[in-house]
Amino acid sequence: MPYIDRAIQTIKVHEGFRSEVYNDHLGNPTIGFGFLIEDLKLTRSVAEQILYMKVSELVRKLESHIKFFHTLPEDAKVVLVDMSYQMGVNGLLRFERFLGYLGKGKYESAAEEILDSLYAQQTPNRAKMNAAVTRRLI
């Protein structure tokens, strides 16, 4: 149906695109091509696509900020991605001792750094799981 493509192009011109949430002329939180936040419903499939894109971007950032990232065992990479997903790459980079131990292959010490943190206090189950995975790298 060619009219659908034409209608989409017209809407794009009229609405414009915003990658971040903004308030429309009526004060409603809006994003994208005029999508009202309150009207957005995500299917699991769309949410998984977004998650994949976010994780892929996190990996690119981790590779550029952590020089030894590519040399780590896969499970260590999973821990780093999970932690940075929760706290952002900049938040993860503040775990200097943890990253130092991880880079030197001192996995027991790295695991202890995970557990001795505000991160572990705020999300104890997640931190314990990531510490356990880090310990198993030995």
Where along the chain do its domains lie? Answer: 2-39, 44-135
* Percentage of the chain modeled with pLDDT above 70: 99
Helix (H, G, I), strand (E, B) or coil at 31: strand
In the chain the first and final C-alpha atoms are separated, in Å, by 58
The predicted-structure confidence for 56-114, as pLDDT tens digits, reads as follows 999 999 999 999 999 999 999 999 999 999 999 999 999 999 999 999 999 999 999 99
Q: Which pLDDT score is estimated for 42? A: 85
> Please, which pLDDT band fits residue 2 given cuts at 50, 70 and 90?
confident
Residue 130, pLDDT > 90, answer yes
Tell me the sheet residues that pair with 18: 32
Sequence-ordered alpha helix ranges (H) in 1-138? 2-15, 44-65, 74-93, 96-103, 107-115, 118-122, 124-135
Distance CA 119, CA 86 (A): 10
Q: Which of the four CATH numbers 1.10.530.40, 1.20.1430.10, 2.70.50.30, 3.20.20.60 does domain 44-135 have?
A: 1.10.530.40
Q: Which pLDDT score is estimated for 75? A: 95
Q: Which pLDDT score is estimated for 1? A: 73
Q: Select the more confidently predicted residue: 3 or 55.
A: 55
